[in-house]
Protein backbone atom coordinates (compact mmCIF):
# COMPACT_ATOMS: atom_id res chain seq x y z
CA UNK A 1 0.00 0.00 0.00
CA UNK A 2 1.42 3.36 -0.93
CA UNK A 3 1.92 6.15 1.56
CA UNK A 4 -0.66 8.94 1.25
CA UNK A 5 0.39 12.55 0.81
CA UNK A 6 -1.10 16.02 0.77
CA UNK A 7 0.59 18.86 -1.10
CA UNK A 8 0.22 22.41 0.26
CA UNK A 9 0.65 25.17 -2.36
CA UNK A 10 -0.15 28.88 -2.54
CA UNK A 11 0.86 29.59 -6.12
CA UNK A 12 1.11 28.20 -9.63
CA UNK A 13 2.15 24.77 -8.46
CA UNK A 14 4.79 23.70 -10.98
CA UNK A 15 6.45 21.64 -8.24
CA UNK A 16 3.09 20.11 -7.40
CA UNK A 17 2.78 19.19 -11.09
CA UNK A 18 6.23 17.58 -11.08
CA UNK A 19 5.20 15.48 -8.08
CA UNK A 20 2.00 14.43 -9.87
CA UNK A 21 3.84 13.63 -13.09
CA UNK A 22 6.29 11.37 -11.30
CA UNK A 23 3.54 9.15 -9.91
CA UNK A 24 3.05 5.71 -11.40
CA UNK A 25 1.28 2.63 -10.09
CA UNK A 26 4.62 1.52 -8.60
CA UNK A 27 5.20 4.80 -6.75
CA UNK A 28 5.80 4.42 -3.03
CA UNK A 29 3.54 7.42 -2.38
CA UNK A 30 0.23 8.74 -3.65
CA UNK A 31 -0.88 12.38 -3.64
CA UNK A 32 -4.51 12.38 -2.58
CA UNK A 33 -5.09 15.98 -1.51
CA UNK A 34 -4.13 19.55 -2.37
CA UNK A 35 -4.50 22.20 0.34
CA UNK A 36 -4.18 25.88 -0.49
CA UNK A 37 -4.72 29.13 1.40
CA UNK A 38 -5.67 30.97 -1.82
CA UNK A 39 -8.81 30.24 -3.86
CA UNK A 40 -7.08 31.67 -6.95
CA UNK A 41 -3.99 29.44 -6.68
CA UNK A 42 -3.09 27.88 -10.04
CA UNK A 43 -2.33 24.65 -8.20
CA UNK A 44 -6.08 24.11 -7.74
CA UNK A 45 -6.62 23.69 -11.48
CA UNK A 46 -3.75 21.23 -11.68
CA UNK A 47 -5.33 19.18 -8.87
CA UNK A 48 -8.71 19.18 -10.55
CA UNK A 49 -7.14 18.08 -13.86
CA UNK A 50 -5.41 15.22 -12.05
CA UNK A 51 -8.50 14.19 -10.08
CA UNK A 52 -6.90 15.08 -6.74
CA UNK A 53 -9.20 16.30 -3.94
CA UNK A 54 -8.80 19.97 -2.98
CA UNK A 55 -9.44 22.09 0.10
CA UNK A 56 -9.07 25.83 0.49
CA UNK A 57 -8.11 26.67 4.07
CA UNK A 58 -7.87 30.47 4.45
CA UNK A 59 -5.12 31.75 6.74
CA UNK A 60 -5.18 35.54 6.52
CA UNK A 61 -6.72 37.17 9.62
CA UNK A 62 -7.18 33.89 11.48
CA UNK A 63 -5.43 32.59 14.60
CA UNK A 64 -2.79 29.97 13.82
CA UNK A 65 -4.40 27.53 16.32
CA UNK A 66 -7.70 27.72 14.47
CA UNK A 67 -6.00 27.10 11.11
CA UNK A 68 -4.16 24.18 12.73
CA UNK A 69 -7.39 22.61 13.99
CA UNK A 70 -9.09 22.87 10.62
CA UNK A 71 -6.01 21.54 8.82
CA UNK A 72 -5.64 18.59 11.17
CA UNK A 73 -9.29 17.64 10.85
CA UNK A 74 -9.05 17.64 7.03
CA UNK A 75 -5.80 15.61 7.09
CA UNK A 76 -7.37 13.10 9.44
CA UNK A 77 -10.60 12.84 7.47
CA UNK A 78 -8.65 12.10 4.28
CA UNK A 79 -6.05 9.88 6.04
CA UNK A 80 -2.92 11.74 5.02
CA UNK A 81 0.46 10.40 6.22
CA UNK A 82 2.94 12.85 4.65
CA UNK A 83 2.78 16.57 3.80
CA UNK A 84 4.76 18.14 0.95
CA UNK A 85 4.94 21.94 0.87
CA UNK A 86 5.35 23.21 -2.69
CA UNK A 87 5.36 26.99 -2.76
CA UNK A 88 3.19 27.28 0.35
CA UNK A 89 3.81 30.73 1.78
CA UNK A 90 2.30 30.32 5.25
CA UNK A 91 3.77 29.08 8.50
CA UNK A 92 2.61 25.55 9.33
CA UNK A 93 0.73 25.66 12.66
CA UNK A 94 2.68 24.05 15.56
CA UNK A 95 -0.13 21.52 16.16
CA UNK A 96 0.30 20.23 12.58
CA UNK A 97 4.11 20.09 12.90
CA UNK A 98 3.74 18.07 16.11
CA UNK A 99 1.25 15.67 14.52
CA UNK A 100 3.60 14.93 11.58
CA UNK A 101 7.11 14.52 13.05
CA UNK A 102 9.67 14.28 10.19
CA UNK A 103 6.77 13.80 7.82
CA UNK A 104 6.54 17.32 6.40
CA UNK A 105 8.91 18.43 3.63
CA UNK A 106 9.43 21.85 2.10
CA UNK A 107 11.33 22.88 -1.00
CA UNK A 108 13.29 26.13 -0.86
CA UNK A 109 15.00 27.62 -3.93
CA UNK A 110 18.44 28.27 -2.36
CA UNK A 111 21.08 26.38 -0.43
CA UNK A 112 19.92 26.63 3.19
CA UNK A 113 20.85 27.62 5.83
CA UNK A 114 21.81 30.65 3.70
CA UNK A 115 19.07 32.76 2.10
CA UNK A 116 16.17 31.43 4.16
CA UNK A 117 13.76 32.70 6.80
CA UNK A 118 10.63 34.84 6.90
CA UNK A 119 10.26 36.99 3.80
CA UNK A 120 12.74 34.91 1.82
CA UNK A 121 10.59 33.57 -0.96
CA UNK A 122 10.41 33.85 -4.75
CA UNK A 123 12.46 36.64 -6.33
CA UNK A 124 13.66 37.87 -2.89
CA UNK A 125 15.73 34.71 -2.55
CA UNK A 126 17.37 34.94 -5.97
CA UNK A 127 18.05 38.69 -5.59
CA UNK A 128 19.81 38.02 -2.29
CA UNK A 129 21.88 35.21 -3.81
CA UNK A 130 23.02 37.44 -6.68
CA UNK A 131 23.75 40.38 -4.34
CA UNK A 132 25.92 38.13 -2.17
CA UNK A 133 28.19 37.17 -5.06
CA UNK A 134 27.64 33.44 -4.37
CA UNK A 135 28.81 31.21 -7.21
CA UNK A 136 26.34 28.42 -6.42
CA UNK A 137 22.69 28.28 -5.56
CA UNK A 138 20.21 25.41 -5.89
CA UNK A 139 17.22 23.85 -4.16
CA UNK A 140 17.08 22.55 -0.60
CA UNK A 141 14.53 20.03 0.59
CA UNK A 142 14.15 20.05 4.34
CA UNK A 143 11.89 18.80 7.09
CA UNK A 144 9.52 21.42 8.44
CA UNK A 145 9.65 22.60 12.03
CA UNK A 146 7.93 25.51 13.75
CA UNK A 147 10.05 28.23 12.08
CA UNK A 148 10.59 29.21 8.47
CA UNK A 149 13.33 27.19 6.67
CA UNK A 150 15.17 25.90 9.77
CA UNK A 151 14.28 22.18 9.80
CA UNK A 152 16.91 19.54 9.09
CA UNK A 153 17.98 19.13 5.50
CA UNK A 154 17.05 16.04 3.48
CA UNK A 155 18.58 16.92 0.07
CA UNK A 156 20.31 19.74 -1.79
CA UNK A 157 21.45 20.14 -5.35
CA UNK A 158 24.04 22.81 -6.21
CA UNK A 159 23.39 24.79 -9.38
CA UNK A 160 25.92 27.34 -10.65
CA UNK A 161 25.22 31.05 -10.70
CA UNK A 162 26.33 32.23 -14.15
CA UNK A 163 27.78 35.57 -15.26
CA UNK A 164 24.97 37.89 -16.35
CA UNK A 165 22.32 36.04 -14.34
CA UNK A 166 19.19 37.96 -13.40
CA UNK A 167 16.85 36.87 -10.58
CA UNK A 168 14.58 35.41 -13.30
CA UNK A 169 17.28 33.44 -15.11
CA UNK A 170 18.63 32.06 -11.85
CA UNK A 171 15.10 31.20 -10.66
CA UNK A 172 14.42 29.30 -13.88
CA UNK A 173 17.65 27.30 -13.63
CA UNK A 174 16.98 26.39 -9.99
CA UNK A 175 13.31 25.56 -10.72
CA UNK A 176 14.24 23.11 -13.49
CA UNK A 177 16.27 21.19 -10.93
CA UNK A 178 13.57 21.46 -8.27
CA UNK A 179 11.26 19.56 -10.59
CA UNK A 180 13.62 16.58 -10.61
CA UNK A 181 14.84 16.71 -7.04
CA UNK A 182 11.53 17.03 -5.21
CA UNK A 183 9.86 13.90 -6.60
CA UNK A 184 13.03 11.91 -5.88
CA UNK A 185 13.27 13.21 -2.32
CA UNK A 186 9.53 12.66 -1.76
CA UNK A 187 9.86 9.04 -2.91
CA UNK A 188 12.79 8.65 -0.53
CA UNK A 189 10.59 9.84 2.36
CA UNK A 190 7.64 7.69 1.24
CA UNK A 191 9.85 4.59 1.27
CA UNK A 192 11.14 5.43 4.75
CA UNK A 193 7.62 6.00 6.10
CA UNK A 194 6.39 2.76 4.51
CA UNK A 195 9.26 0.92 6.21
CA UNK A 196 8.56 2.63 9.56
CA UNK A 197 11.95 4.34 9.75
CA UNK A 198 13.24 7.91 9.63
CA UNK A 199 14.47 9.18 6.23
CA UNK A 200 18.25 9.66 6.11
CA UNK A 201 19.76 12.74 4.54
CA UNK A 202 20.67 12.24 0.89
CA UNK A 203 24.32 13.11 0.66
CA UNK A 204 26.15 14.69 -2.25
CA UNK A 205 28.74 12.57 -3.97
CA UNK A 206 31.12 12.77 -6.90
CA UNK A 207 32.72 15.98 -8.03
CA UNK A 208 29.89 18.43 -8.25
CA UNK A 209 27.89 17.04 -11.16
CA UNK A 210 26.51 13.78 -9.90
CA UNK A 211 25.48 15.01 -6.51
CA UNK A 212 22.70 12.56 -5.77
CA UNK A 213 24.58 9.25 -5.56
CA UNK A 214 22.19 7.90 -2.97
CA UNK A 215 19.61 7.55 -5.71
CA UNK A 216 21.73 4.65 -6.79
CA UNK A 217 19.91 3.30 -9.83
CA UNK A 218 21.70 4.17 -13.03
CA UNK A 219 18.64 5.44 -14.91
CA UNK A 220 17.90 8.01 -12.20
CA UNK A 221 21.53 9.05 -11.99
CA UNK A 222 21.61 9.58 -15.75
CA UNK A 223 18.39 11.56 -15.68
CA UNK A 224 19.81 13.84 -13.01
CA UNK A 225 23.14 14.24 -14.71
CA UNK A 226 21.50 14.93 -18.07
CA UNK A 227 19.18 17.52 -16.59
CA UNK A 228 22.05 19.16 -14.74
CA UNK A 229 24.10 19.44 -17.93
CA UNK A 230 21.15 20.70 -19.97
CA UNK A 231 20.19 23.42 -17.55
CA UNK A 232 23.58 24.41 -16.21
CA UNK A 233 26.16 24.16 -18.99
CA UNK A 234 28.36 27.22 -19.25
C1 LIG B 1 9.59 27.24 -5.79
O2 LIG B 1 10.69 27.99 -6.21
C3 LIG B 1 9.87 26.62 -4.45
O4 LIG B 1 11.23 26.36 -4.23
C5 LIG B 1 9.40 27.68 -3.50
O6 LIG B 1 8.29 28.28 -4.11
C7 LIG B 1 8.36 28.11 -5.51
C8 LIG B 1 7.08 27.47 -5.93
O9 LIG B 1 6.96 27.41 -7.32
N10 LIG B 1 9.13 27.15 -2.19
P11 LIG B 1 5.77 26.58 -7.97
O12 LIG B 1 4.46 27.16 -7.45
O13 LIG B 1 5.96 25.15 -7.58
O14 LIG B 1 5.93 26.79 -9.44
Nearest CA to ligand 1 atom 14: 14
> Which of 91, 128, 175, 183 is the best mutation target for the ligand 1 pocket, counting ligand atoms within 8 Å of the beta carbon and taking the most?
175
Q: Is 108 part of the annotated catalytic residue set?
A: yes
What pLDDT, on a 0 to 100 scale, did the predictor assign at position 217?
58
* pLDDT for res 191: 92
State the pLDDT at residue 229.
59
Task: Please state the rounded mean pLDDT for residues 131-159.
Answer: 91
Segment 133-157 mean pLDDT: 91
Residue 211 confidence (pLDDT) above 70: no
* pLDDT for residue 213: 39
Distance CA 228, CA 115 (A): 22
* Centre of ligand 1 from the C-alpha of residue 43, in Å: 11
**Stated pTM of the model:** 0.90
Return the residue whose CA atom lies nearest to atom 6 of ligand 1. 87
Give the residues across from 54 on adjacent strands. Answer: 34
Binding pocket residue ranges, ligand 1, CB within 6 Å:
9, 11-16, 86-87, 107-109, 139, 175, 178
Nearest CA to ligand 1 atom 2: 109
The pLDDT tens digits for 11-68 are: 999 999 999 998 888 889 999 999 999 999 999 999 999 999 999 999 999 999 999 9
Interatomic CA distance for residues 20 and 1, integer angstroms: 18
On the question of pLDDT at 179 being above 50, the answer is yes
What Cα–Cα distance (Å) separates residue 62 from each residue in 88, 108, 228, 232? 17, 25, 42, 42
Cα 17 to middle of ligand 1, angstroms? 11
Distance CA 205, CA 209 (A): 9
Rounded to whole angstroms, how far apart are CA atoms 53 and 6?
9
Question: Does the pLDDT of residue 225 top 80, yes or no?
Answer: no
Cα–Cα distance between 57 and 70 in angstroms, integer? 8
Q: What is the pLDDT of residue 205?
A: 41
pLDDT exceeds cutoff 70 at 144 = yes
Amino acid sequence: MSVTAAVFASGGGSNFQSLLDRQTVESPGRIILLITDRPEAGALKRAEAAGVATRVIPVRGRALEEVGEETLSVLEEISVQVILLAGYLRLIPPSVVRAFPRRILNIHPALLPAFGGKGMWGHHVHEAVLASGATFSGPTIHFVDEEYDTGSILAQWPVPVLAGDTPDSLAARVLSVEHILYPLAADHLFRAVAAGRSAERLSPGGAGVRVMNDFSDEATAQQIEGAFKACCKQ
